Chain A
Amino acid sequence: MSLSRRLVAWARGKSPWIFLFNSGACNACDIEILAAITPRFDVERLGILAKGSPRHADILIVTGPVTRKQAARLRRVYDQMPEPKYVIATGACGANGGVFQGLYHVLGGADQVVPVDIYIAGCPPRPDEIIDGIAKCVALIKADARRDGRVTRRSGPAPPQEAVG
């Protein structure tokens, strides 16, 4: 690998910047993610920073089952992120809508709208499990960066469909 590629791989792996998006969550996941930056769990020591804009983010962390209100906004936020970009779907809601699966105002899972790289299980997942999920995503980023920066693991979004009816 060339020196410049190795530098890029190192930089990307060292300090992933994340953008948090609440797609209609109950807030349990959001609070546990926030807890991850507080002293007990302290994810900032790993170089992970939460950013206020998707344009500077490497990783999009989505909470919530994706309500009909938030779907288009989620897609827009994803589209604003520069490549290479990664998506983590948090909790049961992020995977398939969780307890809200099938409700009339819910699409059911982040992969209804954006391609997802990592799913973190739980309702909500604990802060340590969230950090573990982020760490796995960082490993993906590093692996892809070593391979010319092309994202290889993603298979594309599931064909979007109405959650009900």
Chain B
Amino acid sequence: MTRSAAWTADRVSAAMQGLGTGESVAANRVRVSVPAARVLEALARTRDRLRCDHLIQIATVDTGTTFELHYHLTGAHRGIVSIRVELPRDAPRIRSAHGILPPAALYERQIHDLFGIEFEGHPDLRRLILNEDWPESEYPLRKDWVMDPGKSYGGAAKEVG
């Protein structure tokens, strides 16, 4: 498969100076782990210094001990930068990126629904993907989530009669 001009870990590291070091994870993808507290700065640099103008995805992983967020961005150069942050499981919160990357608003809302991660400064973290009767604080995509037989999750017989 062809790739565009070298999208090197060094180039990304230079732009991310002080925040993290670039690691080549695929021929066209460099991943940088940054402290959660500095994610907005990292995203702004990715947008401005690395000319990434398209937010591909905010991927979420529950590793069992932490939550990881991966912000994948790309641009006309066809290289991909993945900004990776780790959040503690007992207090998963991070600043919302919607001010820098408007599409983040919808993606963060969905992540909040499914994982319970708090995005500070988000204008509207209402339910997006789970039904309106889904109980609070039940985050189905967490690895340790199991359905509680004592709770109603919506759509059950008693609701429909």
Contacts and interface: CB of A to CB of B under 8 A. Distances in A.
Task: State whether these chains interact.
Answer: yes
A66 interface: yes
Given A105-B130, A165-B148, A72 B160 contact: yes
Interface string B121-145: 0000000001111100000100000
Contact of A162 (B131, B156, B161): B156
A28 B37 CA distance: 44
Nearest to A76: B160
Interface in A66-107: 66-72, 74-75, 104-105, 107
A161 B156 CA distance: 7
Contacts of B157: 112, 159-162
Interface string B149-161: 1000111110111
Interface of B is mostly: loop
B147 interface: yes
Interface of A is mostly: loop
A104 B160 contact: no
A72 B153 contact: no
Nearest to A107: B155
B140 A69 contact: no
